[in-house]
Structure 1
């Protein structure tokens, strides 16, 4: 089993950190400690969520959270910057097209090793990485 972590954009950390830290500081300054505690909890939840974004290759399957994709059903892998919601913490993404109409966007930190392992299992995958 191989595990690939998601690439994380620095601006995403700053954006989410700023959005979540402002109410914490504001709650402390106005002595509304419940507000601060709620946003500390949200910050911890977001941090834990960031830590769980991984892509696992388990034999013939690619597991992304609860989604299990048969690697032999993957038709195409292409590069994209699509900002749609997906299990990717960076806009430097790849799209995996599988089955007949399914597609998922991911952002593995070590993209070349990830794609090489996919190709070693299914050499028929079409690559478009320009």
Structure 2
């Protein structure tokens, strides 16, 4: 079993700029709730970044985000791997993504930190995968 962590982009922090900004405004106004807001936002960022991972286990690719297994894909069913910058919702914390196409019409976007090692490992298990990377 090999575990690959997700690459994390700086834009993830931008998503939480408003709650953090609002929390600072509360602190300036003397409200203690602002401290809780900042701590919760920071904990959320750390939790998401530490829990998003991609596991290659025997003949399966397991995509996990938080406590949820988003996908369990048979590696033998993977047809194609290609680079993408899609902004569609996915278990990826970076816009530097790869699209995993499997079955007839299914696909998932992920962003492994070590993408080439990840792809090489999939190709070892299933050399039939078409890779455009």
Scaled by the length of structure 1, the TM-score of the pair is: 0.90
Distance in structure 2 (CA, Å) of the matches to 1:39 and 1:101: 41
Q: Deviation string for 1:73-121 (max 9, x for gaps)?
A: 0000000000111111111110000111110000111111000000000
Give the paired residue count.
128
* Pairing of 1:1-130 with structure 2 (within 5 A): 1-10=1-10, 12-16=11-15, 18-65=17-64, 66=69, 67-129=71-133
Distance in structure 2 (CA, Å) of the matches to 1:88 and 1:15: 15
Is the partner of 1:28 in helix, strand or coil?
A: helix
Is the partner of 1:37 in helix, strand or coil?
A: helix
Give, in angstroms, the shift of residue 23 of structure 1: 1.7
Distance in structure 1 (CA, Å) of the matches to 2:27 and 2:33: 9
Is the partner of 2:128 in helix, strand or coil?
A: coil
Distance in structure 1 (CA, Å) of the matches to 2:36 and 2:13: 20
Is the partner of 2:92 in helix, strand or coil?
A: coil
Give, in angstroms, the shift of residue 14 of structure 1: 3.9
Give, in angstroms, the shift of residue 13 of structure 1: 4.1
Scaled by the length of structure 2, the TM-score of the pair is: 0.88
Q: Deviation string for 1:3-49 (max 9, x for gaps)?
A: 11111112x14413533321221111112222441442233123201
User: Where do 5+ consecutive residues of structure 1 fail to align?
Assistant: none
Is the partner of 1:124 in helix, strand or coil?
A: coil
Runs of 4+ in 1 over 6 A off after TM superposition: none
Root-mean-square deviation (CA, aligned residues, Å) is: 1.5
User: Where do 5+ consecutive residues of structure 2 fail to align?
Assistant: none
